[in-house]
Amino acid sequence: MNPIENPIVGRGARDGSTLFRNWFDQLTHVAENGEHAGYVFVMGSLNELLHTFGVHPVFPEINSLQTAVRRVADEYLNLAEDHGFSPDVCGYVKADYALQLRGGEHPMGRIPPPSIAVLTNACNTYLKWAEIWERMYHMPVVTVDVPGSRQAPGRYTPTADDVARDRRYVEFQLRELIEHLEKLTGTAFDVDRLREVLDVTNRMGRAWRRVLELNRSRPAVFDAMMEGTIYLGVANALRGTEEGARFFEDLAEEMEYKARHGISPLLDGRGEHRLIFVGVPCYPIFRRFYQLFSEWGGVFVSSTYTWFASGGLNLDYEYDLSRPLESLAEGVLLSVQRAGDSMLFHDRYLIEAIDEFGADGVVYHPIKSCRTVSTGLADSRRVVLEERDVLCLYIESDMMDKRVVSEAQLKNRIDAFFEGLDSRKIRMEKAASAAASAKSVSTPTA
Amino acid sequence: MTDLPEVRPREPIRLLDIPFDGGLEAVLEYCREIVEDPDFPTVRRWREAGGKVLGHFQVYFPEELAHAAGVLPVKVRGGQMEREQADSRFGSYLCSILRSSLELALTGRLQVDMFVSHPICDAARNLAGIWGRNRPEPAQILYLPQNPNSKFSGTWLTEEYRRVLGELEAISGKKATDADLRAALDVFNENRRWLRELYAIKRSAPWLLPVDEAYVLVALGGLVTRDEHNELLRWLVPRIRERAARKQDKIRVVFEGGFCEQPPLDLLRAISEFCYVVDDDLLIGLRWILSDVPTAGDPVKNLAVAYLDDSSYSPVQHDLRKPKEEMLLKRIRGADAQACIVAAAKMCEPGLDEQVAYAHTLDDEGIPYFVTEFEERMTSFDHLQIQLETFVENLLFA
């Protein structure tokens, strides 16, 4: 059978889209029925605890980015700015603020108001954002403070005692969160239910890691910036659910198939330029942004977004079901720390990824809206260029605000980047060919 | 760090040559020169005498720990300068203090033996990583609790302070005993009392101490030992109280928005032409703890608990007990202010976010306010002065 005609190829994109739409429909249902909605964030979402109590997780970051993907973000941003928000602050926050003012109206459905907000300190804007809901709704806001790495990994190794006390701190706060959830729902904590939820998260993580790993194949099997973002949406929204776990198991199967049959996301994967994406995509022109690379044969084999925004699913860590709460605390600590590392100290990880994925180039995309992700990128680029023979592209725009997205300027820079990659490839091929000829001339024939 | 020797009493290193003989104005002018000097002469003198230096970025650091370990804690708060190197390490949409602080390190103007940043905002949390990639000295992050409402945060912070103390001891090569820590608390408690005195003068007789002068006196504490700062303030405060200055027809305002990046002194001076700044959050980290930290018991724990439970507020600390807009109202009412200047540094996300909540609350309460943005590198204040003058006239002649 022609592999292209095989129904397994493209299944992930199809199913992911359906699941995601269903998930938003479910949120509309929650809004209409006044059920409990817990506002959470992608870094340290604690979906597992919310599911244990039957609280529906709502991801304001995902809601906001969807307004940009669906090209209505400007309506929301303008409304927030009319209320006094600066053009220079996070567009996600502003879009959500406007969404709340509009009674949850969203292009994918209706977003329920929060019964509780659960956040970590993985991003400082989370804290400011939650304070807005607190003022609006006077509902419980529970912060789980997760200490990050104190220095760049490699320059400092925490002692076992350091790790243990951080874990104790997180675990204690999780127990405090459980008290809040018990009070909110009137339901006693059921550790067996938590165990079940953790089990499906373990399955989801196993499959997700396999998906990421399979992109080492040549050609790559998916675009980590474009498709990876769709998968991330499912990974966050359906984390801790059976359908989420099954989706990723199916996805891993699809990617195995594509790897076996050399099926690339590009029309012709043979001439692919293997790239690593650093940052958050340009959602106001998401598809076009992807095309600016794919038209040149660029494929993102890895993306830091799939590291820091996957809630730790990318890490080789599984919950120990014999001690669920302690293990959840360990997992939250590890996932938030590594998410921080992949934004604050990512140069070492990038260098490793360049080697592992055989990358030809790195694309840095700092954005106005997110200083956590963007602040260190220019400096990281300097270090990566010193250590690896790759080309790096540094382009600035935004994930929400199309006023700072100039497609013509992006295209100009991206075209020049690929011209460099192409000529470099030709030079390398010529050099390899010359070396081979020289070798054959100097080798005496029998 | 139990194998380290205990800190022995050492000859105090004099970092200042205060012209006491010249009188109050000469001393104030000297302090201003030191604070504005981009080459950090006090730090240089400390290092030349063999001392070790901790550079700690805004907003708060438990400086008592450094003091007890024999390390000079220096507040890294950027500055006004031409940037030659740091800008190539940063992209757009970032505040100035981040860039100028790194510039100080890259150009060698400020040399430290250890740098500590804090996750006060999304930009600052990156600074330790960038500093560490560009400088050989250890650069680390101190995570101050963003969930002070957890019953465990005090325990965790105490242990974290002990970890940091160990790092400082490693820098200085000297162990800080509990006695050293208690002595440090004593010195800093006295310092806090003097700073409270300065602010009491601002509230009760602001014509005696304009905002720019008060700022200089507070900022100096981040550049010298607190013993020497105390000595200076002991001499200054009574003389400021006796100063021959007359009350003028100016409105009483609170300046809010100076918790991290600092407005240029000339901007503060421009404000003081029309207003008495009777309270503010300028360099709030140096005034974070509100009263004396107890010296009895575990000094490190006492310091940690004071950070959490006996402290001021800022947009970069999340504490459910301290809704920022309510705290601002408290500050305004506590200082009997007529209006508020709600400022934010350009590109400062927490400051800009908070401006919205502040403005809405002040609207609700009917308190006049003036919203503005500033940058530490500003050199022209004409536009601001015109706007502020109009604002003040509206209040005076409404």
What's the pLDDT score for residue A370?
A: 94
Q: Do B143 and A147 touch (CB under 8 A)?
A: yes
* Distance from the Cα of residue B242 to its chain's centroid: 26
> B147 has which bridge partners?
none
Contacts of A344 in chain B (CB under 8 A): 125-126, 128-129
Give me the pLDDT at residue B2, please: 45
Q: How does pLDDT run along chain A (446 residues), one tens digit per residue?
A: 455 567 899 999 999 999 999 999 999 999 999 899 999 999 988 999 999 999 999 999 999 999 999 999 999 999 999 999 999 999 999 999 999 999 999 999 999 999 999 999 999 999 999 999 999 999 999 999 999 999 988 888 899 999 999 999 999 999 999 999 999 999 999 999 999 999 999 999 999 999 999 999 999 999 999 999 999 999 999 999 999 999 999 999 999 999 999 999 998 777 899 999 999 999 999 999 999 999 999 999 999 999 999 999 999 999 999 999 999 999 999 999 999 999 999 898 999 999 999 999 999 999 999 999 999 999 999 999 999 999 999 999 999 999 999 999 999 999 999 999 999 989 988 988 888 888 887 766 54
Between CA B187 and CA A31 the distance in angstroms is: 57
A344 — contact with chain B (CB < 8 Å)?
yes
- A128, A343, A347: residue with CB nearest B353: A128
Look at B159 and A165 and tell me if their CB atoms are within 8 Å: yes
What is the 3-class SS of chain B, one letter each residue? CCCCCECCCCCCCCCCCCCHHHCHHHHHHHHHHHHHCCCCHHHHHHHHCCCEEEEEECCCCCHHHHHHCCEEEEEECCCCCCCCCHHHHCCCCCCHHHHHHHHHHHCCCCCCCEEEECCCCCCHHHHHHHHHHHCCCCEEECCCCCCCCCCCHHHHHHHHHHHHHHHHHHHHCCECCHHHHHHHHHHHHHHHHHHHHHHHHHHHCHHHCCHHHHHHHHHHCCCCCHHHHHHHHHHHHHHHHCCCCCCCCCEEEEEECCCCCCCCHHHHHHHHCCEEEEEECCCHHHHCECCCCCCCCCHHHHHHHHHHHCECCCCCCCCCCCCHHHHHHHHHHHCCCCEEEEEEECCCHHHHHHHHHHHHHHHHHCCCEEEEEECCCCCCCHHHHHHHHHHHHHHHCC
| pLDDT score, position B6 | 59
Distance from CA of B202 to the nearest CA of A (A): 31
Contacts of B244 (CB under 8 A, 6+ apart): none
Mean pLDDT over the full length of chain B: 95
For B:163-222, CB contacts with A below 8 A are: 163
Backbone angles phi, psi at A421, to 5 degrees: -65, -40
- For residue B147, the chain A residues in CB contact (below 8 A) are 121, 143-145, 173
Candidates B103, B156, B370, partner chain A, best to mutate (most A CBs within 10 A): B156
Split at pLDDT 50, 70, 90, the class of B262 is: very high
User: Between A83, A125, A380, which is nearest B122 by CB?
Assistant: A125
B359 vs A84, A150, A169: nearest CB? A84
Cβ atoms < 10 Å from Cβ of A330: 20
Q: Report the candidate in A90, A58, A103, A94 with the shortest Cα–Cα distance to residue A76.
A: A94
pLDDT in tens, B58-101: 999 999 999 999 999 999 999 989 999 999 999 999 999 999 99
On whether the CB atoms of residues A332 and A46 are closer than 8 A, the answer is yes
Classify residue A318 as exposed, middle or buried by CB count within 10 Å of its CB (0-12, 13-18, 19+). Answer: middle
- Looking at residue B1, its pLDDT comes to 43
Q: Which of A124, A144, A368 sits opposite B121 (nearest CB)?
A: A124
Residue B337's nearest CA partner among B290, B369, B382, B293 is B369
What distance in Å separates the CA atoms of residue A302 and residue A359, rounded to the nearest whole number?
A: 9
Q: Which residues of chain B are within 8 Å of residue A149 when distances are taken between CB atoms? A: 141
Contact B98 A143 (CB under 8 A): no
Q: What is the pLDDT of residue A4?
A: 54
pLDDT number for residue B142: 97
In angstroms, what CA-CA distances link B350 with A10, A124, A129, B279?
Answer: 42, 8, 10, 20
Looking at the predicted structure, is the pLDDT value of residue B135 above 60? yes
Q: Does A156 touch chain B (CB under 8 A)?
A: yes
pLDDT of residue B163: 96
- Give the nearest partner residue to B133 out of A168, A347, A370, using CB atoms: A347
What is the band of B5 on the pLDDT scale with cuts at 50, 70, 90? low
- Express each pLDDT in B35-60 by its tens digit: 999 999 999 999 999 999 999 999 99
